[in-house]
Amino acid sequence: MANEPIFGTLALIGLGHIGSSVARAARKHGLVGQVVGHARSARTRDTAMALGFVDRVEADPAAAVDGADCVMLCTPLSAYEDLARAFAPALKPDAIVTDVGSVKGCVRQSLAPQLPAGVALVPGHPIAGTEQSGPEAGFAELFEGRWAILTPDGAPNAAVDRVASLWRGMGSMVEIMSAEHHDKVLAITSHLPHLIAYTIVGTAADLEDHTRAEVIRFSAAGFRDFTRIAASDPTMWRDVFLNNKEAVLEIIQRFNEDLTALQRAIRWEEGDKLHELFTRTRAIRRGVVKAKQA
Amino acid sequence: MANEPIFGTLALIGLGHIGSSVARAARKHGLVGQVVGHARSARTRDTAMALGFVDRVEADPAAAVDGADCVMLCTPLSAYEDLARAFAPALKPDAIVTDVGSVKGCVRQSLAPQLPAGVALVPGHPIAGTEQSGPEAGFAELFEGRWAILTPDGAPNAAVDRVASLWRGMGSMVEIMSAEHHDKVLAITSHLPHLIAYTIVGTAADLEDHTRAEVIRFSAAGFRDFTRIAASDPTMWRDVFLNNKEAVLEIIQRFNEDLTALQRAIRWEEGDKLHELFTRTRAIRRGVVKAKQA
């Protein structure tokens, strides 16, 4: 006998890489009764219907959340406030609102003031994704073995448990922490790496044409991993940096100090110092491999 | 009927990740009559014999090159000069000496003065490898579809052709350029990415224990790609930075300027500027994918 679904109706606001993966995974594992999708662009809505990972699409966000037990925002962060304002009047009185955004401190700020009393807000962030974007890029297995972080910051336990069950049902491990702590940790595990990758690929893009062609040709020597990261969605990442400004600027500062120290060691040919640092970083890699996140 | 091998005897000085991969690939494709290996450590020599990718090992580099038609150095760059001094008297009068080092300008400097007249020096660099090291990590397919750069800088054509044929036989595409140009291009495609990865992973290693554990746990968000690069062999990379100092310092400078500009755009919340840069870098990724180096 099949289990009762966690949510009768799941409304997905945004049907890109992550939204479409949630739709696929939630349906695959029977976690929801039906999935209703909203996307701003008609082409995305048509694609979602054609690919068949939603039961219905709505051009109006309010129509999409009407009757939904859970509403999940899967758009860039900058769209949250206007969307919430548009759909809030149509929310069920006991609906749960959640999201998948890469910064969490700003979510309560942009969503909470719009939501009626009784609606629980449980911000979330699956640590999963590829450099692909769009509804075609989603797949049901994206979240398997990956972490999903929830930052309820005072939301009712019952609502937190249901959102956690949804992620666990899609194969994720769930961790709960404060939004502030999330943003500090992700500044180093995600935001700084992306910023650095965008920078180094940008530096290469500025080279004269001939050298740039060679950089592409010989990219297998390390550079290509950065190009993959730097191919991530520009709007999403602009919003990340604008919304996690303080933590990102703080970690850039630390990174800069460390890079300057290395630069100085190269200039003064301090081989022992270089060797020591290059050895120390291996332990972190072993940790990543051991934590099965490699 | 099998083709004539390109070299009767290939001597590999250094039997780590790259050396052992050359041994495996050269034998697999019948490119050499026999492979003789030298490694400083008895354990590496024993492993090479146990894995069976060499015909013979020698503890003395001179004994290893005795009778060899081609000698290929596959050790860290800092070992080249002493090794060449040790094996030079035993070289065949018409032997070809080549290498696989990641910096090329320094190779002529450290090797040429040791070599007898008549011995051709054809420095080389396969743009292939993983973060693994040691003889167990090698495999015959490592060079397939990858570039091998040769920097003959005046070596006789016949010698260059034979070394090029060896790399083509192992599945590589061959490009010829000056050592100086190689070092400039690789400073951005390889040396800077590695330096940046070592830096960012080092920055994380300095975090307090609790945060560091979380950085490892949530590394799938971008950081883990850097940990892979920063797990590369410390001695090899120390030598790269000491031997390509000028080009690396120059490219760090450009990178720093670009990072400062991005940092400033974040501080002043210049979303359009961020979006523009994050879009521009996608074209480079498309180039890498199109060049089949992804």
| Model confidence pLDDT, tens digit, residues A8-52 | 999 999 999 999 999 999 999 999 999 999 999 999 999 999 999
The pLDDT of residue B157 is: 97
The pLDDT of residue B287 is: 85
C-alpha span between B191 and B180 (Å, rounded):
14
- List of residues 6+ apart from A41 with CB closer than 8 A: none
A215 pLDDT exceeds 90? no
C-alpha span between B280 and A204 (Å, rounded):
11
- Which of the four pLDDT bands, split at 50, 70 and 90, describes residue A213? confident
A189 pLDDT exceeds 70? yes
Count the helix, strand and coil residues of chain B and give each as a percent rounded to the nearest 5.
55, 15, 30
In chain A, positions 43-62, which contact chain B (CB-CB < 8 Å)? Answer: none
Across the interface, do B185 and A214 touch by the CB < 8 Å criterion?
A: yes
With contact defined as beta carbons under 8 Å apart, do B225 and B201 qualify?
no
Across the interface, do B228 and A232 touch by the CB < 8 Å criterion?
A: no
- Which of the four pLDDT bands, split at 50, 70 and 90, describes residue B1? very low
Chosen from B177, B178, B274 to mutate, greatest number of chain A CBs within 10 A = B274
- Which of the four pLDDT bands, split at 50, 70 and 90, describes residue A196? very high
pLDDT, average across residues B136-162: 96
Q: Are strands A147-150 and A124-126 parallel, antiparallel or unpaired?
A: antiparallel
Q: Round to the nearest angstrom and report the end-to-end CA distance of chain A.
A: 36
- Residue B168, H or E segment: helix B157-169
| Alpha carbon distances (Å) from B240 to B181, B183, B195 | 15, 10, 10
CB nearest A185 (choices: B186, B192, B211): B211
Q: What's the burial of B273, exposed, middle or buried (CB within 10 Å: 0-12/13-18/19+)?
A: middle
Which chain A residue has the Cα nearest residue B196? A259
Q: What single-letter DSSP state applies at residue B127? A: S
CB nearest A221 (choices: B127, B267, B291): B127
**Residue B120: closest CA among B52, B165, B67, B72:** B72
Which residues of chain B does A171 touch, with a Cβ-Cβ cutoff of 8 Å?
Answer: none
| Model confidence pLDDT, tens digit, residues A42-89 | 999 999 999 999 999 999 999 999 999 999 999 999 999 999 999 999
Q: Could you tell me if B208 lies within 8 Å of chain A, comparing CB atoms? A: no
- Residue A120, H or E segment: strand A120-122
C-alpha span between B269 and A238 (Å, rounded):
9
- Which of the four pLDDT bands, split at 50, 70 and 90, describes residue B47? very high
- Averaged pLDDT score across all residues of chain B: 94
The pLDDT of residue A286 is: 85
With contact defined as beta carbons under 8 Å apart, do B27 and B5 qualify?
no
Edge-to-edge strand order for the sheet containing B32-38?
B56-58, B32-38, B7-13, B70-73, B96-99, B120-122
pLDDT, average across residues A246-261: 95
Across the interface, do A284 and B184 touch by the CB < 8 Å criterion?
A: no
A294 pLDDT exceeds 80? no
Q: How far is B111 from chain A (nearest CA, A)?
A: 21
Task: Give the pTM.
Answer: 0.89
Across the interface, do B204 and A284 touch by the CB < 8 Å criterion?
A: yes
A211 pLDDT exceeds 50? yes
With contact defined as beta carbons under 8 Å apart, do A14 and A74 qualify?
yes
| Model confidence pLDDT, tens digit, residues B114-128 | 999 999 999 999 998
Which chain A residue has the Cα nearest residue B264? A249
Look up the ipTM and state it. Answer: 0.90
The pLDDT of residue A2 is: 54
Across the interface, do A228 and B224 touch by the CB < 8 Å criterion?
A: no
**Residue A130: closest CA among A20, A213, A43:** A20
Better-predicted residue by pLDDT, A212 or A119: A119
